[in-house]
Chain A
């Protein structure tokens, strides 16, 4: 496929068991997906489905036990050391927790400058870039001299987004970037991410457990269930009329903020549950 930026093929990840007798635990059983340049692939799944592990494998924070990860036609499955550090230019990350993802003792300027200085950007040029980044994520320019604790959760997440954008990456892995935020902040941060994508054509691998968040940011959606992909397709299709029963269950489980509609959903969900019960009884 032309324009494919990230290609994951048959990815397997196994964690060693804790303790003497524990057997290794496989969290991903051969997952294949791809992300095109400038596209958002939403990866949705519940806790333990392995969605975060996929992101961490792409970032080189966990070692895959099988399969291939290709970025811009280069195999990066086992890239380490200097090769991995060189990838920092192209692949970046925004983590879920805006509190622990920023070093509390560094100023915002230092946090944003770090990836630039590593890339060999001069101090003066870096400062100009930091100012531009702060502006891009909608933070006041004088933020650079302040510490993370002076900012709210939403503002911190903006700092984390600015840090990810600093080296002008081609792909940003967004690992639940809005789950820790309040409703109103959540929406503004999502809008910011969409704006940035329109402006810079960065691709997102967007990981979330929340279908409504996924629906708002993704072009395509992949649904993960216990380490396997169960459904992939256009966002509108997967999040409205899913084929797989698990996706349907996921869709009906999230309550909507409309008493009448929610009442209807609840009934539909119960019908599903009864049918499942009948089926398992038969």
Chain B
């Protein structure tokens, strides 16, 4: 239990992680600039009557078309003699109300409908979808103009209507999110816990959809403001209400006399909507994460580059390999630190370790297919004496498939669902050895036969979804051995498969390895597979190889404590549970911790 509780000591770090969304937002310059711009504008609007001495509809004949800087009219006055500054500030308030009503109604209608439509059965979903599709077909702006007699020109009523028209956007976002979340196991667990549907929706589902909804709100607010301005510019609705649209309209008539009357409100409107859109983008980047810049793999410096005398010999030699990733806080995080092993021609090596031990990363480094964020910081990988680290991608591509090949863990996700199996194999054959398409296609069938597929012609013509997982893995193995590689790296090749299929795939690898005299590196966490398949073992823990040896030696007399612990953890074959179930009529014991240190089972039956 000790190893299990080690991570519990990292509490302070995790607390910092929890508030990191806000902090990350504060670190994003785009978010900071747009948010503070909006904040200044909104506050100025709220202080309108303090900042400006005139009311928004106060018109003075003396001030008609007053220029910028006129006494009492810092931004001048319009053609009716109204203070432009006062109009601007009150227009901000109109815009804020507009944004609140439009976005608020869109959310109020769209979010509950999306939750209901996504969570409940197909009939409810179909009904809500139909309704919102219908709303979407309405020509929005036209409808708002036509319904002016109903809304009596009040911009608030108009915006409420517009909010309903925006609701389908919210509905779709929420519905799609809910469809993804509702099959999560924690929602099932909540159901089993006896939570009623509305509580599950409120506690588990709504929480998961909040991010996209927040992002969408910023865009909806921008849309509401520009639509309201557009309507006011067209002169639809009550012209008494101060608004950017009305100001631009009035300035437009005076464009040649006093261009600033047109330019100032346009500029402010532009700043507001642009800020909202840019803030929405910044929110999206922060909440959903933008793609990180790929980093080039640093050319490693082998520790003993020239010291040929102490170099290990073998077909594949990995020496002192270290791989690190940049953690979110910018510090390098070394996932592999000094892993190393050698494989002779025709030999099988088991690279074993638990999750996070770095065994797959090591395999990827050998293949030259580490993800872009990874950096090889030191070490050496030599194939037949040739250094592979730092080779250009073009060179590496020649080696992959021909000298060194790979069998992945998930057969299905490594096949293209839109191409037949035969076509994919033909492509990989031609990648290894350029030849006419027809010839490659002819080579596919014997290749499939070689990996024990009983009906090669049918399988070659099938799409990946038409074949089983075991069959798909055979196809991938066929592709891997097509170029007669010297080394095959199999990364947990049977973990995704059923036990009985697992055994067949191992048999196949056994057979191929003998026939083609391949060396195989089997990356696995399963000691049974190592015992079945490997000549030698390398045990990895936390990025390091802690023990190497022949399989029999390692299993009989493990030298490293960690290996011993792993071997002891194996649920062996002969121990069965020995304690009988309690008699049904016996009173239950008081529950609570009563640590019985007795191991499970204990009695050996053979």
Q: A interface vs B, CB < 8 Å?
A: 2-3, 36-40, 46-47, 59-61, 84-89, 91-93, 95-97, 100-103, 105-106, 114-115, 118-119, 132, 135-136, 138-140, 142-143, 146-147, 149-155, 158, 160, 163, 167-168, 182-188, 190-191, 194-195, 198-201, 209-213, 215-219, 235-236, 239-240, 249-250, 252-262, 266, 269-270
Minimal Cβ-Cβ distance residue in B for A4: B584
How far, in angstroms, from A79 to B207 measured CA to CA in the complex? 29
Whether the Cβ atoms of A188 and B4 lie closer than 8 Å is: yes
Q: Is B506 an interface residue when CB atoms closer than 8 A count as contact?
A: yes
Expressed in whole angstroms, the Cα–Cα distance for A66 and B298 within the complex equals 62
Q: Which among B207, B525, B573 is the interface contact of A105 at CB below 8 angstroms?
A: B207
Tally chain B residues at the interface, Cβ within 8 Å.
80
**8 Å CB contacts to A: which residues of B553-605?**
555, 565-567, 569-573, 575-577, 579-586, 588-589, 591-596, 599-601, 605
Residues of B within 8 A of A91 (CB): 192
B526 interfacial contact with A, CB 8 Å: yes
Residues of A within 8 A of B8 (CB): 139-140, 142-143, 150-151, 155
Quick check: A256 and B500 within 8 Å, CB to CB?
Answer: no
The reply to whether A254 and B528 form a contact with Cβ atoms under 8 Å apart is yes
Measured CB to CB, the nearest residue on chain A to B550 is A259
Known: A195-B595, A216-B576. A240 touches B605 (CB 8 A): yes
Give the chain B neighbours of A97 by CB distance below 8 A: 185
Partner of A115, one of B193, B207, B581: B193
Chain A positions within 8 Å of B585 at CB level: 3
A59 touches B5 (CB 8 A): no
Interchain nearest-CB distance for A278 vs B (Å): 16
Which residues of the other chain, B, contact A119 by a CB distance below 8 angstroms?
194
With A103-B186, A235-B576, A256-B573 known as contacts, the answer to whether A59 contacts B531 (CB < 8 A) is no
Q: A103-B186, A195-B596 are in contact. Are A184 and B576 (CB under 8 A)?
A: no
Q: Which of B183-207 contact A (CB under 8 A)?
A: 184-186, 188-196, 199, 203-204, 207
B591 touches A168 (CB 8 A): yes
Q: Which partner residue on chain B sits nearest A190 by CB separation? A: B600
Q: Does B158 contact A (CB under 8 A)?
A: no
The 9 residue pairs across chains A and B that have the minimum distance between CB atoms: A3-B584, A88-B194, A255-B528, A257-B527, A39-B581, A101-B185, A115-B193, A182-B354, A46-B498
Q: What are 13 A-B pairs with beta-carbon distances under 8 A?
A: A47-B498, A60-B192, A95-B185, A101-B186, A105-B207, A114-B193, A136-B591, A142-B11, A160-B189, A212-B572, A240-B576, A259-B532, A270-B507
Nearest chain A CB to B463's CB is how many angstroms away?
16
Considering the chains assembled together, what is the distance between the CA atoms of A39 and B354 in angstroms?
Answer: 31
CA distance A211 to B571 in the complex (A): 10
Which residues of chain A have C-beta atoms less than 8 A from B194's C-beta? Answer: 84-89, 115, 118-119, 167
> How far does the Cβ of A77 sit from chain B's closest Cβ, in whole Å?
17
Interface positions of B from 1 to 41, Cβ below 8 Å from A:
1, 3-5, 7-8, 10-11, 14, 17-18
Write the nearest CB–CB distance from B567 to chain A, whole angstroms: 7
Instruction: Compute how far the CA of A96 lies from the CA of B4 in the bound complex, rounded to whole angstroms.
Output: 18
B193 touches A88 (CB 8 A): yes
Residue of B nearest to A84 (CB): B194
Residues of A within 8 A of B186 (CB): 100-103
Q: Judging by beta carbons under 8 Å apart, are A182 and B581 in contact?
A: no
How far apart sit A46 and B468, CA to CA, in the bound complex (Å)?
13
Count chain A CB atoms within 10 A of each CB in B17, B186, B527, B565 and give the residue with the most.
B186
Least Cβ–Cβ distance between B604 and chain A, in angstroms? 11
Q: Report whether B571 and A118 are in contact in the complex, using a CB–CB cutoff of 8 Å.
A: no
**A101–B192 alpha-carbon span in the complex (Å):** 12
B473 at the interface (CB under 8 A from A): no
State the CA gap A181–B527 with chains docked (Å).
15
Q: Are A146 and B588 in contact (CB under 8 A)?
A: no
B499 at the binding interface (Cβ < 8 Å): yes
Q: Tell me if B109 is interfacial: C-beta within 8 Å of chain A.
A: no
A200 to B592, CA, bound (A): 8
Inter-chain contact B525/A256, CB cutoff 8 Å: no
Q: Mark B498-509, 1 if CB is under 8 A from A, else 0.
A: 111011001100
Decide if B192 touches A46 in the complex (CB within 8 Å). Answer: no
- B592-A201 in contact (CB<8A): no
The interface residues of chain A lying within 8 Å CB-to-CB of B506 are 255
A39 to B14, CA, bound (A): 40
Point out the residue from A143, A163, A187, A260 that lies within 8 Å of B569, measured CB to CB. A187
CB–CB B355/A153 < 8 A: yes
- Given the known interface contacts A37-B584, A152-B7, A257-B528, the answer about A191 and B591 at a Cβ–Cβ threshold of 8 Å is no
CA distance A96 to B470 in the complex (A): 22
Name which residue of chain B comes closest to A114, CB basis.
Answer: B193
Assembly CA distance A119 to B5 (angstroms): 30
- Nearest-neighbour CB distance to chain B for A53, whole angstroms, equals 13
Q: Which residue of A lies closest to B13 (CB)?
A: A150
CB of A105 within 8 A of CB of B592, answer: no
With contact pairs A118-B193, A209-B499, A255-B526 given, residues A183 and B566 touching in the complex (Cβ less than 8 Å): yes
